[in-house]
Chain A
Amino acid sequence: MEVELLEIRDFLASHHPFDQLSKESLNSSLGDIEIRYLRRGTDIDSDDGLLDSLYLIRTGAVELHNNYDELLARLAEGDMFGYRASHREEYENIRGVVIEDTLVYQFPADTVDALCDKHPQLDYFLAPVGGERLREAITHVGDEGDAQLSMMTAHISDLIKRPPVIMPPTATIRETAVMMSEERVSSILITQGEKLQGIVTDRDLRNRVVAKGLDYDLPITEIMSTNTCTADISDYAFEAQLQMARQNIHHLPVVDGDKVAGMLTATDLTKHHTTSAVYMVGDIYKQNNIESLQEISAKTPDLLVNLAAADVTADSAGHVITSVVDALTCRLIQLAQEKLGEPPVPFAWLAAGSQARSEQTAKSDQDNCLLLDDSYDEKKHGEYFQQLARFVCDGLNACGYFYCPGDMMAITEKWRQPLRVWRQYFSKWIEQPEPKALMLTCVFFDLRCVCGDRNLFRSLRKHLQEKCRGNRIFLAHMAGNAMSHRPPLGFFRNFVLIHGGEHDHTFDLKHTGIVPIVDLARIYTLAAGINAVNTQDRLKAAAEGGEVTEEGARDLQDTLEFVSFLRIEHQARQIRAGKEADNFMSPEDLSNFERNHLKDAFSVVRTMQNVLSQRYKI
């Protein structure tokens, strides 16, 4: 392949998951690219080969709609759609609408498969359809052992993308801030000649300048951190990471001898963490017994700590961590099938609750259920599925995803039923929203098919949506139920803390911070009949559907990200200290700035709840 295709290679290299490939692999994959130009207003659906190729948007924007003509996603530069990128079963009837003139790089399906076979990173990202393919694909992990991807062997020099952004010590705070925003960096190095004097980060500007009301025209030396630790350009990446974790910093200046060579940020290391999740997932599929699965899943807390140290957004951390549970579940189902034989009727293993929403953090309880085909006959097949459920749920429990205290698991017979019974369940909950039903809806209205027959799941979901959409009486009950979790904010903008007991003087980040937003998003989604399950996705889709204003959705998204981020940091802190991770945070653990920010966040939630309760007259 021609090395002159640099422009295209560089583009690929700067976008996930291609950034995971080595230069050589990238070069060799360039030949598979076809370039296409799509005019604004063009429709591409499966008849036009939407699902026959993988599309990577070079410039422009494309919207994806489902067959109800609901907007699923708005994609922009660097986003992918088509074969395997729109793999999720609910998006099979997807249609792309080009909303800006768009240049796409297109990989034909067989090329994608071939690439994925060669590069497990691609394979992980372009998660495959169904368990069968997953198993095949996962076996490739490790066979190749792309060594240069490993944190253990990557050098810092491989990670540094740009020359350092520097300022002389004579610069003022304002000049420095201007430079940082122009260069779009979160930190800047202060250098005298080529020698490092200090470092200034966004956080410094916030905490040492804005929060203290410092004069912007003071020299930058007033606020810079001087005794900074540095890494050498020839160090291994993992050393840098260790250093960051140890010092709890997110920016590490890199030097080459005496000279400043660049800046390594936690984000630069991020992709390597997603890689470690990839390896975890890959490992999971190689295990053949519960004990070894247990061993692997014991590393989940470390994964969380790493993600937190790398400043990963809470949203992506949730996705990464959930992918581990998903893999565990799938593997357990495979193992169960090896033991019990092929299933007598089709089934779908559904994750509920936070696993379905891809919002798990530290280990949590398992919420799941089993949806069986209508040909299920309890007398003939009951035994098989009971054993299957028992095996998987026990396995999950052994791996630290403890039994659900509300028994919302597939081992409970009630939650292991054929489609027709599930339909009746949902009809009943929606028609008779008793308190118990409302509690169940909070778990079972967030469903995702982890493994098995997606068509089953799809018809259940369709039923549920048809029942809910526009049913204001039911939605009002949901809204009323959502009001039972209020942000811990008192009348005078004070934190309302738990008094007494084990968690004295704390507030519950999950139930009073995250759950209210999750509940709001669920109601918006049900009102509009949207498929999305992840809360961030739901809010985005709801704003597009007009259920909530763009501004309101954005506020809620930011709030959710902020609160979830605090939670991950909090849990990571606990895990590092060797404690059990929980959701109870003391306001004293927060800086003044964070406290204020959190109060703002909570009052956003409160406003949105008030609007909802006003609308539904509760």
Chain B
Amino acid sequence: MDLQTLTYIVVGATFSLYIGIAIWARAGTTGEFYAAGRGVHPVANGMATAADWMSAASFISMAGLIAFKGYDASLFLMGWTGGYVLLAMLLAPYLRKFGKFTVPEFIGDRYYSKVARMVAVLCLIVASITYVIGQMKGIGVAFSRFLELDYATGLYVGMAIVFFYAVLGGMKGITYTQIAQYCVLIFAYTVPAVFISMNLTGNPLPQLGLFSATADGTPLLVKLDQTIMDLGFAQYTAQKGGTLNMVFYTFSLMIGTAGLPHVIIRFFTVPKVKDARSSAGWALVFIAILYTTAPAVGSMARLNLTNTIQTGPVGEVSANLEYEKRPQWFKNWEKTGLLKYEDKNGDGRIQYYNDKNPEFAKKAESYGWKGNEMTKVDRDIMVLANPEIAKLPNWVIALVAAGGLAAALSTAAGLLLAISTAISHDLMKSMFTPNISEKGELMAARVAMAGAIAVAGYLGLHPPGFAAQTVALAFGLAASSIFPALMMGIFNKRINNTGAVTGMLVGLGSTLLYIFTYKGWFFIPGTNMLPNTTANHLFGIAPEAFGAIGAMLNFASATIVSKLTAPPPEHIQHLVEDIRIPKGAGAATDH
């Protein structure tokens, strides 16, 4: 059976599994009235949370980033993991006690202000759409490869499918579907990793394989460093960016995670506070399985890719792969336009090296190489291409495609639902058109969803960065606007509505300004005012890392403005005190 048919079958099978579970779960609930449905076990809930959490960015992009950026990309791992812990331990319990399950609701009530609520809604919409862009990118990559189309067409197909998936929407809420998605996803991610790790190091655990010795006795990472430095690339395991940038970047990711709407809700769907805590713990375990595998997948993929093209010692003519003899996966990815080869020196062989490294470029010229001939290697293809590069069986490759789609679709659908409700209910029904009919509300949500998909799709075609970086931008925006408002709302009773609104606007505005300065206004290429290089950055801080600075500006301006204006009303101050005193949760678990 050829790969494409098999991919169709596997993807089809997993999706019918999700839909089947959805139907089963729904039918199962309309039973006897007095027989209450069973509660979901914390472990199962942890899995569902992990599935919500892991998006295309985690599944598709993170390993790709690690593969090409090496050590520096570890900040994504740290930032997201840290963000998750922050959310689960610090924010969710307090929001829960407040009885609000979306951030705008909390902010609207805590700051007794419709304006504050509206600003929060807008911040969330901006952050969520940016996050969806990342998902769309992943979906585009997956579909273009899976249907063997070019990337743009793949993206259009993906947009249509996301729209229907999200409109049918109901599936989102069913825990067992989420669990199935997690299982497919984690299976698809780890199985190829195990195979590759076995091939390269003989150790079945990729996490350990990363630090094990390869067949020739050299440790894997040493070998990788050696291989790519031979081709003029920077050392894989060394830190390249500034430390300050790293720290801020990590912090932006961490605190940005806090405000994202689709994950917070997960914590409130668990009825008991105790269970919510233990499922948060379990979710961390399940997330860790993927996150700890990612560095191995990235490193091994890089090694395999390089070794496939550069089959022998650098400089020997026969050590470079002949283009005519290129493997099938190479041809397939060429069709998507995400992998491009240009025979610059006309020798019919592929030279893949770092021609930006002046030292190595000279050496390369002496070999008769006229520049890097792999003109485009999209980082987001790495996870999907990895099993093919490692020559794993077809069913594994098909499985990875299914896993990538599951990750991207579930997160995209969840976010789009959140965006559409924010627009139809929080903006239209609650503020602008309170008399809108119920049918109108449903219609508005659908139109909003289509609009969000169109915007995200457009930006997915002209992305401001790789999927993971796009997502990082979203986190940066959320970090600068929402997180400070939440924290101050919970921990500082003195912050009033004027302060909070000012803070959010300052945070969001400064971050957007900084990003647009380097990335172009509204990410439109060519409109940037300064070139996006480290030298031009303020203190060497990348736009993606500015969220943490934005948050600080937010904190500062909110505190100052609140000091200068009247304190919040009595009952709000009492409320803030009450949230932090742990009587509600404690009493509730007693009996």
Direct contact between the two chains A and B in their complex (CB within 8 A): yes
Q: Are A614 and B99 in contact (CB under 8 A)?
A: no
Asked if A472 contacts B99 (CB within 8 A), the reply is yes
A49 to chain B, nearest CB (A): 35
Whether A618 lies near B101 (C-beta < 8 A) is no
Across the two chains, which residue of chain B brings its CB closest to A433? B271
* Chain A: minimal CB distance from B217 (Å): 55
Cβ of A434 < 8 Å from any Cβ of B?
A: yes
Once the chains bind, are A470 and B99 in contact (CB under 8 Å)?
yes
A607-B30 in contact (CB<8A): no
B250 within 8 A of A: no
Quick check: A615 and B36 within 8 Å, CB to CB? no
Contact code string A451-487 (vs B, CB < 8 Å = 1, else 0): 0000000000000000000111110110010001110
Among B33, B425, B437, B588, point to the contact of A428 (Cβ < 8 A): B588
Q: Flag whether B37 is at the interface (Cβ < 8 A).
A: yes
- Interface window among A129-137, A264-272, A530-538, A545-553: A545-553
Q: Is the CB of A552 within 8 A of B437?
A: yes
* Complex: chain B residue closest to A468, CB-CB: B99
Do B438 and A611 touch across chains, with their CB atoms under 8 A apart?
A: yes
Question: Which residues of chain B come closer than 8 Å to A436, judged between CB atoms?
Answer: 36, 39
Interface residue? A592 (CB, 8 A): no
- Interface readout for B10-45 with A: 1 if CB under 8 Å, 0 if not? 000000000000000010011001101111000000
A234 within 8 A of B: no
Contact, CB under 8 Å: A617 / B438: no
Cβ contacts under 8 Å, B439 to chain A: 607
- B355 interface residue per 8 A CB criterion: no
Flag if A473 contacts B101 (CB, 8 Å). yes
Residue from the list A473, A477, A610, A618 in contact with B100, Cβ < 8 A: A473
B584: interface (CB < 8 Å): yes
Tell me which residues across on chain B come within 8 A of A431, comparing CB atoms. 273, 584-585, 588
**A432-B424 Cα distance, complex, nearest whole Å:** 29
A608 at the B interface (CB under 8 A): yes
Tell me the number of A-to-B contacts counted with CB atoms below 8 Å.
104
B549 to chain A, nearest CB (A): 32
Interface centre among A470, A476, A611 (most CB of B within 10 A): A611
Please determine whether B421 and A617 come into contact, CB atoms closer than 8 angstroms.
Answer: yes
B576 on the A face (CB < 8 A): no
Given contacts A405-B34, A428-B591, A611-B441, is CB(A484)–CB(B29) below 8 Å? yes
CA distance A424 to B101 in the complex (A): 23
Knowing A428-B591, A472-B105, A552-B437, the reply to whether A439 touches B36 (Cβ < 8 A) is: yes
CB A560 to nearest CB in B, in angstroms, measures 16
User: Could you say which residues of chain B place their CB within 8 Å of the CB of A615?
Assistant: 421, 425
- Residue B102 is within 8 A (CB to CB) of chain A in the complex: yes
Answer yes or no: B535 CB below 8 A from chain A CBs.
no
Q: Is the CB of A614 within 8 A of B424?
A: yes
On whether the beta carbons of B437 and A551 are closer than 8 Å, the reply is yes
B438 touches A476 (CB 8 A): no
B421 to nearest A CB, angstroms? Answer: 6
Chain A, interface SS category: helix
Please give the distance in Å from A523's CB to the nearest CB on chain B.
Answer: 14
B268 at the A/B interface (Cβ < 8 Å)?
yes
Given contacts A472-B99, A472-B101, A474-B99, contact A613 B437 (CB under 8 A): no
B358 touches A (CB below 8 Å): no
Whether a CB of chain B sits under 8 angstroms from the CB of A427 is: yes
The answer on a CB contact under 8 Å between A432 and B273 is yes
Interface size on B, residues (CB 8 A): 45
Restricting to B51-89, which residues have a CB under 8 Å from any CB of A?
none
Complex: A477 Cα to B170 Cα, angstroms: 15
The residues of A that contact B265 with a CB separation of less than 8 Å are: 617
- Give the docked Cα–Cα distance between A434 and B36 (Å): 9
Whether A438 is near chain B, meaning CB under 8 Å from some CB there, is: yes
Does A511 count as interface, using CB distance less than 8 angstroms? yes
Q: Is B435 an interface residue (CB 8 A)?
A: yes
Q: Which residues does chain B contribute within 8 Å of A614, judged by CB atoms? A: 417, 420-421, 424-425, 441-442, 445
Tell whether A149 is near chain B: CB-to-CB under 8 Å. no
Q: Which of B93-137 contact A (CB under 8 A)?
A: 96, 99-102, 105, 109
Residue of B nearest to A421 (CB): B591
Q: Inside 8 A of B424's CB, which chain A residues have their CB?
A: 614
- CB within 8 Å of A: which B213-245 residues: none
B1 contacts partner chain A, Cβ-Cβ < 8 Å: no
Q: Are A511 and B30 closer than 8 Å at their CB atoms?
A: yes
A549 near B435 (CB under 8 angstroms)? yes
A608 touches B438 (CB 8 A): yes
| Chain A residues whose CB sits within 8 angstroms of the CB of B585 once the complex forms | 431
A437 at the interface (CB under 8 A from B): yes
Q: Contact check, A548 vs B438: say whether CB atoms are below 8 A apart.
A: yes
B96, B99, B591 — most chain A CB neighbours (10 Å) = B99
Tell me the bound Cα distance from A104 to B30 in angstroms: 50
Residue B272 is within 8 A (CB to CB) of chain A in the complex? yes
Shortest distance from the beta carbon of A498 to any chain B beta carbon, whole Å: 10
Closest chain A residue, CB of each to CB of B276: A432
**A471 to B588 Cα, complex, angstroms:** 15
Q: Does A500 contact B (CB under 8 A)?
A: no
Q: Does B564 touch A at the CB level, under 8 Å?
A: no
Contact between A472 and B100, CB atoms less than 8 A apart: yes
Binary flags per residue of A411-441, CB closer than 8 Å to B gives 1, else 0: 0000000000000100110011111111110
- Tell whether, in the assembled complex, residue B36 and residue A438 are in contact, meaning their CB atoms are under 8 Å apart: yes
Contacts of B38 in A (CB 8 A): 435
Contact mask A545-570 → B, CB, 8 Å, 1/0?
01011011000000000000000000
Is A406 in contact with chain B by the CB < 8 A criterion?
yes
Closest chain B residue to A555, Cβ basis: B438
Q: Which of B173-202 contact A (CB under 8 A)?
A: 173
B436 nearest CB neighbor, chain A only? A549
The contact string, 1 if C-beta is below 8 Å from chain A, for chain B 354-385, is 00000000000000000000000000000000
Measured CB to CB, the nearest residue on chain B to A512 is B30
Contacts of B109 in A (CB 8 A): 470
- A382 to B417 alpha-carbon distance, docked (Å): 52
Is B99 a contact of A471 with CB atoms below 8 Å? yes
For residue B114, give the distance in angstroms from its CB to the closest CB of chain A. Answer: 15
B485 at interface, CB cutoff 8 A: no
B512 on interface, CB distance cutoff 8 Å: no
Chain A residues whose CB sits within 8 angstroms of the CB of B434 once the complex forms: 546
Q: Are B268 and A476 in contact (CB under 8 A)?
A: yes
Task: Determine whether the beta carbon of A434 is less than 8 Å from that of B99.
Answer: no
Inter-chain contacts of B39 with A (CB < 8 A): 434-436
Complex contact A427–B587 (CB within 8 A)? yes
How many whole Å from A360's CB to the nearest CB in chain B?
A: 16
Given known pairs A434-B39, A435-B37, A439-B34, the reply for A617 and B418 (CB within 8 Å) is yes
Closest to B174 in A: A618
Query: Which residue of the partner chain, among A432, A511, A613, contacts B272 with CB atoms under 8 Å?
Result: A432
A424 to B591 alpha-carbon distance, docked (Å): 8
Q: What is the bound-complex CA distance between A433 and B438, given in angstroms?
A: 27
Which residues in B have their C-beta under 8 angstroms from that of A480? 173, 269
Beta-carbon contact of B437 and A610 below 8 Å: no
- Whether B100 and A406, one on each chain, are in contact in the complex, defined by CB atoms closer than 8 angstroms, is no
10 further A-B contacts with Cβ under 8 Å, apart from A431-B584, A432-B588, A472-B100, are A432-B589, A435-B37, A473-B100, A476-B268, A476-B269, A477-B269, A549-B436, A551-B438, A611-B441, A618-B173
Q: 28 A–B contact pairs at CB < 8 A?
A: A404-B34, A427-B587, A431-B273, A431-B585, A432-B271, A432-B588, A432-B589, A433-B271, A434-B39, A438-B36, A471-B99, A472-B100, A472-B101, A472-B105, A473-B99, A480-B269, A484-B26, A511-B33, A512-B30, A548-B438, A549-B436, A551-B437, A552-B438, A607-B438, A607-B442, A614-B441, A614-B442, A617-B417
Listed from nearest, the 10 A-B pairs whose CB atoms lie closest are A406-B34, A471-B99, A484-B29, A439-B36, A431-B588, A435-B37, A434-B271, A436-B36, A435-B36, A552-B438
The chain B residues found within 8 Å of chain A, CB to CB, are: 26, 29-30, 33-34, 36-39, 96, 99-102, 105, 109, 170, 173, 265, 268-269, 271-273, 417-418, 420-421, 424-425, 434-439, 441-442, 445, 584-585, 587-589, 591
Q: Which residues of A contact B (CB under 8 A)?
A: 404-406, 424, 427-428, 431-440, 470-474, 476-477, 480, 484-486, 511-512, 546, 548-549, 551-552, 607-608, 610-611, 613-615, 617-618
